[in-house]
Amino acid sequence: MRNIVVIGASSGIGKELASHFLREGDTVFLLARRTEILNELHLEFPEHSYFQYFDVTENDGLFEKLTSIFHQMITVDLVVNCAGTGDINPDLKIGIEKNTIDTNITGFTVLTDACFNFFKSQGFGHLVVISSIAGLRGGAAAPAYNASKAFQISYLEALQIKVGKENLPICITDVRPGFVDTAMAKGGGLFFVASVEKAARQIVKAIQKRKRVVYVTKRWRFIAWIMRNLPFPIYSRL
């Protein structure tokens, strides 16, 4: 059985993945702001679950807080970071943009570096991050969200290069969902919307295969190819 940390375990993909790991008998440390939901999971699996309040926007001491949790578990096999935010913001309200940046860029970077350094010190580990297909191109409806996911994709790729150059026994998986039926799926024109259960099943398989990049659901690989290759004059009119 594995020792697993799930960040953002109180809703959506994070909650579904945490429930899956607990059903499999793994020991899971649940982290999120909504501790009442984490407590419900803990009461269902009291023997091998732990939980703690955790806000990725509280950057002061965040690195040390996560590292302390890792040391409590002694060893950590897998960290899944599902924490993220994004809002439709065509009027460019700075509060919305700042919250997205604080969560998806600053918080993400602190958490990712804490995981990477701990895995490097213990000699193994698997980091899984839920980024987004939105990171492949800019988006007028939610500029900071798309840009923040592009940052995540690039950062994870950089760490993968670092793993190769330093010959480190660390696996990094970048999960790029399309539309999943969670609170994050906002705005009109949604298509290929997957259930949380289906998305989680495909993510679990990607973790088992230790994939570097995975699109969820699988049909979004085709959409990703189109997005990357559409000329800007065409893409900008969509």
Query: Beta partners for 180?
Result: 194
Would you mind telling me the total number of residues written for the chain in this entry? 238
- Which residues form the domain of 195? 3-235
Q: What is the largest CA-CA distance in the chain?
A: 56
Model confidence at 124, pLDDT cuts 50, 70, 90, reads: very high
> What is the CATH classification number for the domain harbouring 68?
3.40.50.720
Does 189 have pLDDT greater than 70? Answer: no
Structure tokens at 237: 């009119």
How many separate domains does the chain show? 1
Average pLDDT over residues 192-218: 93
* Averaged confidence pLDDT in the chain: 93
- Please give the model's pTM, rounded to 2 decimal places: 0.93
Give 128's contacts (C-beta < 8 A, 6+ positions apart). Answer: 78, 79, 80, 81, 172, 173, 175, 203, 207
